[in-house]
Chains A and B, each alone.
Chain A
Amino acid sequence: MEQERSIPSSLLSPRSPSSQPCLSVSVTDPVKLGNGVQAYISYRVITKTNFPEYQGPEKIVIRRYSDFVWLHDRLFEKYKGIFIPFIPEKNAVEKFRFSAEFIEMRRQALDIFVNQIASHHELQKSEDLRTFLQVEEETMERLRSHDSGIFKKKPADLMQLFKGVQSKVSDIVLGKEKPVEESNPEYEKLKHYIFELENHLTEAQKHAFRLVKRHRELGQALSDFGKAAKLLGACEEKAVGKGFSELGAKSEMLSIKLQKEAHELLLNFEEPLKDYIRAVQSIKATIAERANAFRQQCELAETTKLKEINLDRLVLVRSDKAAEAEVEYKELKAASEEATKRFETIVALMNQEIIRFQEQKTLDMGLAFHEFAKGQAHLANGVADAWRSLLPKLEALSVS
């Protein structure tokens, strides 16, 4: 089975020891800062690398959630066609409570996010990534607040031709508007696959989450049962009393194991599923961008064509507007060619990315399944051992 998978080492754990250029990042040490509504969590981001552009073998900076969002948005804008890892949702409500579990899960998600970027052969070259990983906190803050203002607007003037593109894109992608759409059967299949996949995964994740809950509930039930059994044991006499007391104690002990397994399940099984869903969603975002780019390309091509026709007409009638028109036409033609190139880049990148995505996900899910099965086997063994140890005692009580 190993031979079938020839996966570039960059897809494996970024911590793989090798003399090749490596970039390894970890997000650690969440610390709560600030008060009340202003409160936020800061993380230590440790970068270990031998990339020449980076400072020193190791650099540590402090970052907060919005910094990660900044990085994501910039990459999303610059690397259209590439599936930019989705960032964990900004959960305003949970944030207020900042439970230990929430903090840990967010930390883990951010760690995965940065690592996925750092292990992507294109994205790891990004300047924005370097900025994120290296600059001082004050610089980062300045960049963040500066960009959050301007950044949301579409830069190029020509883009203003397509007002409200954001909302329209999803309509187009979902086929609600009569669109300018690629007629590419393979691509259609891919789109269909992605949307269906999201449904399946969402359902699976839902059940995985419920499974976590069930483990917690079972743990609680065992704990309550154990307590009641111990009380009964206390008021019973002789052998039976002991029997119930021992049973109760075991039950309580197992309750702890179950709570632990619930936690493991959450981290090792449900989170990867959530991650899978996020990856699918980033693909959807890319699909939207691609549709966007396609539409731009088409509309620009059409506009250019119209301009050309108009120009020819003006030249024919020797109008003095011809010169101006020619300039405009040339500009439009250039823009149209650029739009076409942009679109084609996205297509090419997407094709590569899909392969990378599929292979990565096979690995990720394989690991998740392994951890899941291991955890369950471990739990079952623990349960069996615990109860088994009780049998000789009960046996002895029966005889006495």
Chain B
Amino acid sequence: MMDSENQGFEEARLYSSHEEVQNLDFKEKLSAKSFSNYRSAMSSLSDAHHPLSSPAVLTPADSDPLRLPPMDRDLQKPYVSDHFFSDPLHFSDVDFGPFDGNNVRDLNGVESPSKSSESSGSLSRSSSSNSEYIKISVSNPQKEQEVSNSLVPGGSSYVTYLITTRTNIAEFGGSEFSVRRRFKDVVTLSERLAESYRGFFIPPRPDKSVVEGQVMQKQEFVEQRRVALEKYLRKLAGHPVIRMSDEFKVFLQVQGRLPLPTTTDVASRMIDGAVNLPKQLLSESAMAPQEVVQPAKGGRDLLRLFKELKQSVTNDWGSLKPPIVEEDKEFLEKKEKLRDFEQQLSAVSQQAESLVKTQQDMAETFGELGLTLIKLTKFENEEAVFNCQRVRAADTKNVATAAVKASRLYRELNSQTLKHLDVLHDYLGLILAVHGAFSERSSALLTEQTLLSDLSSLRSRAEKLEAASSKVFGGDKSRIQKLEQLKESIRTTEDAKNVAMREYKRIKENNRSELERFDRERQADFLSMLKGFVTNQVRYAEKMSVVWGKVAEETSSYSKESS
């Protein structure tokens, strides 16, 4: 498809007059390339014009006045207005004036990956000053050898990426730094964040690839991964809480290899857990309060796992009202709404993809039509016996050129529309994070409930024991001992319960504040996306109107009305 389109362009140059080809906007030629090539070409174009401007990346949270690129490159261009909101979340609104025929410009408000490594990164949605920012870029993938810790002789190789950060946030203790990281490190980072920031909507990390080794060498795969990593890190940097986290800072700054997490895989975790199990069963030791802070699932504490499982079953089946129920109606409502939202968003995303596809098909068919008509033109000119044939050939050429132009316009329109699709996809990904945060909340609640029921059963046993031993005068040495142990368990469990309660509250609060932030940012991002999408459509429709209007005028003498 690409070939025929390029070939069409070649033929257009061969058979149409030279001036016409020059008239075709240079930037329009670029649309023959793929989307990413187009973007890199655009950013190199913009660099040529203005060193500071990189309209290629302009995120909704563009709060840094230094960073606002002047959108007009021609001086006749109308003004650019930016809106700042008193709301801590703000984004710049670039307002385009009336349409100018030939200029292809980038649009506002959508986060998008940039090909060139030196272009700017995402910006902070900072709730404090306007001028805080973190710029992250991922570049320079390199193959490195695994040091021979492995059992496999010769060692395996992996890819590292250069991660460059520029920031003016004081807590980072520096303004620019670079580290080399491999994908495994990113996985580690995301796991640690998940542990420390339960209840937060943590942006999902890029997928691991199922096929490793061979595939990893491929250029394309590495490039895709680079882009994905950059996106991910920028999203993390865009999260007001996570960006300040130790884990994130360490990841961005600390040189050398990252220490491995305490457990790297589920299997080893289970093994650890199994080791503790007999001890727990025998001594009935309660869980240590600090362990309560993590969910049972995926943890090492098998006993706790079983208990909580039992509890959740009790909750489900029990006719008795469980001690603490998710009473937060508001939360439940929000959850429902979110599910609805997810469904609709998914549908819109799908339809948007179809829309892009049909626009792509339209571009293709216009291109093919144009090419065919050019061939027809050439043919008529070569074989012309009568003058009217030459006239017809000229008319045909006009239409052919217009069709080729229309094809390019549709392609360009499409590559812009794809950027808006990105926003939808991002939010679909974010919803996964929300689900994760909500499930953290549920498991924290479950932990609390389990502990409460533990506590109540321990207390009732203690009561019974007390009642029994009081009947024996002087006391039963073993019973008293047991009672002491029980009381000890009760105290520990009480502590654990309190920790669990605090944890649950904490997570609830995280959920709440995050939901607020999510709502706000979503409003901003989506509105910006809508505006971008609509502005785009207007722009390209206007261009197409110009193209076809010209042809209509040139052929107006044939019209029945004029004869």
CB of B468 closer than 8 Å to a CB of A: no
A217 and B530 contact, CB distance less than 8 A: no
A369 and B395 contact, CB distance less than 8 A: yes
A-contacting residues, B201-222, CB 8 Å: none
CB of B392 closer than 8 Å to a CB of A: yes
B351 CB to closest chain A CB (Å) equals 4
Given contacts A201-B376, A231-B344, A240-B527, contact A373 B388 (CB under 8 A): no
Selecting from A134-142, A316-324, A334-342, A391-399, the interface stretch reads: A391-399
CB of B241 closer than 8 Å to a CB of A: no
Residue of B whose beta carbon sits closest to that of A13? B560
Q: Which residues of B contact A224 (CB under 8 A)?
A: 351, 354
Contact mask for chain B residues 342-356; partner A; CB cutoff 8 A; 1 contact, 0 none: 001101101110110
Contact for A383 among B83, B372, B541, CB less than 8 A: B541
B344 and A228 contact, CB distance less than 8 A: yes
Alpha-carbon distance A161/B395, docked complex (angstroms):
48
Q: Which residues of B contact A376 (CB under 8 A)?
A: 406, 544, 548
B-contacting residues, A202-232, CB 8 Å: 203-204, 207-208, 210-211, 214-215, 217-218, 220-222, 224-225, 227-229, 231-232
A373 and B555 contact, CB distance less than 8 A: yes
Contact for B372 among A16, A204, A355, A377, CB less than 8 A: A204
B-contacting residues, A154-211, CB 8 Å: 189, 193, 196-197, 200-201, 203-204, 207-208, 210-211
**Residue with the highest number of chain B CB atoms closer than 10 Å, among A4, A196, A232:** A232
Alpha-carbon distance A181/B71, docked complex (angstroms):
70
B interface: dominant SS: helix
Selecting from A20-28, A123-131, A360-368, the interface stretch reads: A360-368
CB of B389 closer than 8 Å to a CB of A: yes
Residue numbers of B with Cβ under 8 A of A are 83, 93, 95, 337, 340-341, 344-345, 347-348, 350-352, 354-355, 357-359, 361-362, 365-366, 368-369, 372-373, 375-376, 379, 383, 385-389, 391-392, 395-396, 398-399, 402, 406, 519, 522-523, 526-528, 530-531, 533-535, 537-538, 541-542, 544-545, 548-549, 551-552, 555-560, 563
Alpha-carbon distance A369/B95, docked complex (angstroms):
37
B392 and A365 contact, CB distance less than 8 A: yes
B504 CB to closest chain A CB (Å) equals 28
Contact for A214 among B95, B361, B385, B555, CB less than 8 A: B361
**Residue with the highest number of chain B CB atoms closer than 10 Å, among A4, A236, A376, A395:** A376
Q: Which residues of A contact B366 (CB under 8 A)?
A: 211
Given contacts A214-B361, A224-B354, A398-B93, contact A240 B523 (CB under 8 A): yes
Alpha-carbon distance A243/B395, docked complex (angstroms):
43
B-contacting residues, A347-377, CB 8 Å: 355, 358-359, 361-363, 365-367, 369-370, 372-374, 376-377
B376 and A387 contact, CB distance less than 8 A: no
A372 and B399 contact, CB distance less than 8 A: yes
Contact for A2 among B83, B398, B557, CB less than 8 A: B557
B530 and A247 contact, CB distance less than 8 A: yes
B96 CB to closest chain A CB (Å) equals 9
Contact for B548 among A197, A237, A373, CB less than 8 A: A373
Alpha-carbon distance A95/B16, docked complex (angstroms):
43
CB of A244 closer than 8 Å to a CB of B: yes
Inter-chain residue pair count (beta carbon < 8 A)? 204
Q: Which residues of A contact B560 (CB under 8 A)?
A: 13, 367
A369 and B555 contact, CB distance less than 8 A: yes
Alpha-carbon distance A5/B275, docked complex (angstroms):
100
Given contacts A235-B340, A243-B526, contact A359 B388 (CB under 8 A): yes
Contact for B527 among A229, A239, A361, CB less than 8 A: A239
Residue numbers of A with Cβ under 8 A of B are 1-2, 4-5, 12-13, 16, 189, 193, 196-197, 200-201, 203-204, 207-208, 210-211, 214-215, 217-218, 220-222, 224-225, 227-229, 231-232, 234-240, 243-244, 247, 355, 358-359, 361-363, 365-367, 369-370, 372-374, 376-377, 380-381, 383-384, 387-388, 390-391, 394-395, 397-399
A280 CB to closest chain B CB (Å) equals 12
Q: Which residues of A contact B528 (CB under 8 A)?
A: 398
Given contacts A5-B391, A224-B354, A362-B389, contact A367 B341 (CB under 8 A): no
Alpha-carbon distance A197/B83, docked complex (angstroms):
59
Q: Report 5 cross-chain contacts, Cβ distance below 8 Å, ordered by A residue.
A: A225-B348, A243-B530, A362-B392, A380-B542, A387-B534
Q: Which residues of A contact B385 (CB under 8 A)?
A: 358
Residue of B whose beta carbon sits closest to that of A372? B399
A367 and B559 contact, CB distance less than 8 A: yes
Q: Which residues of B contact A232 (CB under 8 A)?
A: 341, 344-345, 347-348
Q: Which residues of B contact A218 (CB under 8 A)?
A: 355, 358-359, 362
A221 and B358 contact, CB distance less than 8 A: yes
Given contacts A224-B354, A232-B347, A235-B337, contact A369 B396 (CB under 8 A): yes
Contact for A391 among B362, B372, B387, B534, CB less than 8 A: B534
Beyond contacts A218-B359, A388-B538: 16 other A-B pairs, Cβ-Cβ < 8 A, are A200-B376, A204-B373, A225-B348, A225-B351, A225-B352, A236-B341, A240-B530, A247-B534, A358-B385, A366-B395, A367-B560, A373-B552, A383-B541, A384-B538, A391-B534, A394-B531
**Residue with the highest number of chain A CB atoms closer than 10 Å, among B385, B386, B545:** B545
A207 and B368 contact, CB distance less than 8 A: yes
B348 and A221 contact, CB distance less than 8 A: no
Contact for A358 among B83, B95, B389, CB less than 8 A: B389
Alpha-carbon distance A217/B387, docked complex (angstroms):
40
B379 and A197 contact, CB distance less than 8 A: yes
Q: Which residues of B contact A201 (CB under 8 A)?
A: 376
Contact for B365 among A211, A225, A395, CB less than 8 A: A211
Residue of B whose beta carbon sits closest to that of A398? B527
**Residue with the highest number of chain B CB atoms closer than 10 Å, among A234, A238, A398:** A398
A397 and B347 contact, CB distance less than 8 A: no
A381 and B541 contact, CB distance less than 8 A: yes
B552 CB to closest chain A CB (Å) equals 4
Contact for A399 among B83, B392, B533, CB less than 8 A: B83
